[in-house]
Amino acid sequence: MVRRVAFAVPGDLAAPTGGYAYDRRMIVELQQLGWRIDVIGLGDGFPRPSTAQKAFAENQLAAVEGSDPVMIDGLALGVLPEAAQAVGKKHPLVALVHHPLALETGLSSEDAEAMRASERAALAAAAAVIVTSAPTARLLISDYGVPQDRITVARPGTDRGGAVRAHDDGVVRLLSVGSLVERKGFDVLIAALARLIDLPWRLSIAGDRTRSPAVSARIDADIARYKLGDRVEVLGALSDERIAKLYASADVFVLASRFEGYGMAYAEAIAAGLPVIGTTGGATPETVPPDAGILVQPDDVAALADTLRRVIANPAQRKTMAAAAREAASALPSWQESAKILAAAIERVA
């Protein structure tokens, strides 16, 4: 018997973000496990759709035929509570939550509370909820009333990286990967690096510049204000192949996220054998092993600068952290393992 699931995704599935990368890879892996995946496009505008965009998404979901499970990406599900309830009456509804919408940086308290209430109502209709980390699971249990027995943790998989190349010019290559949105904390990273102009470093930022033009413009302005144009390159969205080459040529990975539902870029850095500098926001402490990384509080420019100074100036410490990262990489799940966990969760409600 062919196993089948409709997977409803908002926006452009090819978008270069961690959430969409997870969705794309899970589709491929589920297909290799023998599943038929019917991808349902919900349109643009999420998680803040216009009335017309919301109506289009609701119609797309209402048109799904049969009684097979329907999995909806949380970027849309959280703002479609009525549609979720309608789908849940006809199909086993599977919610895929990368991180709660109310925890996106920059929301007013009123908007965050409205998002939380909407997502809570949508999740109540789900027969199963897939999350990408145990901390996110705990948040949904404590703040959203999701029963623990409905939740499955299917962490993002990782592809093992190649050997990290050493440099002999004395310059420490820093790499940061993530969309240029406020939650990723690039403003904090640039401010911290501005305190380290006496040290030999270069930073490459790889991430979509189009998701928040205002944030992208602010990062460009910060780089110019601190006179870091010859040290910081903002590369925009890149192919998986180019990202892999950046990981292989970097000396240190750094990302100052204010919150992460899992932190795929952190895991990819560990898989590449890189020392990691990050923050304690969200699930990152459970993604980054303590021997392989150093985490500071989000928005703490001074602590981030101090940590970067120590790591940049200390080759022996970088070598020790890199060795710990390579050892930790063996414990990261493969995409095939994660897809099997996801498939089992869908089968239980089907």
The answer, yes or no, to whether residue 22 has pLDDT greater than 60, is: yes
**Interhelix angle 81-90/51-62, nearest 10 degrees:** 0
Based on the domain organization, do 223 and 147 belong to the same domain? no
Query: 325 and 176 in one domain?
Result: yes
The domain total for the chain is 2
Q: Give the tens place of pLDDT for each residue, 247-305.
A: 999 999 999 999 999 999 999 999 999 999 999 999 999 999 999 999 999 999 999 99
Cα 189 from chain centre = 18
What is the spatial distance between Cα 324 and Cα 92, in angstroms, rounded to a whole number?
Answer: 42
Domain membership flag for residue 165: no
Is a pLDDT exceeding 60 seen at residue 1? no
- Tell me, yes or no, whether 162 lies in a domain: no
**220 and 322 fall within a common domain:** yes
pLDDT digits (tens, 9 = 90+) for 174-193: 999 999 999 999 999 999 99
Do 193 and 251 belong to one domain? yes
Q: What is the pLDDT of residue 54?
A: 96
Q: Does the pLDDT of residue 241 top 80, yes or no?
A: yes
Q: Judge whether 154 and 342 are in contact, CB under 8 Å.
A: yes
Hey, how many other C-beta atoms are within 10 angstroms of the C-beta on 186? Answer: 28
Judge whether 166 lies within some domain. no
Report whether pLDDT(15) > 90.
Answer: no
Query: Within this chain, do residues 297 and 279 fall inside the same structural domain, yes or no?
Result: yes
Kindly state the average pLDDT of the residues 48-66.
96
Q: Which domain holds residue 316?
A: 172-329
Residues facing 41 on adjacent strands: 9
End-to-end alpha-carbon separation of the chain, Å? Answer: 13
The answer on 281 and 184 residing in a single domain is yes
Same domain, 11 and 151: yes
Cis check: omega of the bond before 47, within 30 degrees of 0:
yes
pLDDT at 123: 98
Residues 319, 337 within the same domain: no
188 sits in which H/E element: helix 186-193
Residue 119 falls inside a structural domain: yes
* Beta strand 201-206 pairing with 70-73: unpaired
**Does residue 164 belong to any structural domain of this protein?**
no
- Residue 263: which CATH number? 3.40.50.2000
The confidence score (pLDDT) of residue 16 equals 86
**Do 256 and 142 belong together in one domain?**
no
Task: Tell me, yes or no, whether 79 lies in a domain.
Answer: yes
| Co-location of 38 and 137 in the same domain | yes
Mean pLDDT within 80-108: 95
Structure tokens at 25: 């890879």
**Is residue 136 over pLDDT 70?**
yes
DSSP letters, 287-309, are: HS-TTTEEEE-TT-HHHHHHHHH
Q: Is residue 163 part of a domain?
A: no
Contact yes or no for 84/93 (Cβ under 8 A): yes
Q: What percent of the chain lies above the pLDDT cut of 70?
A: 97
83 and 183 in a common domain: no
167 part of a folded domain: no
Say whether both 179 and 282 belong to one domain.
yes
Per-residue pLDDT tens digits for 150-165: 999 999 998 866 555 6
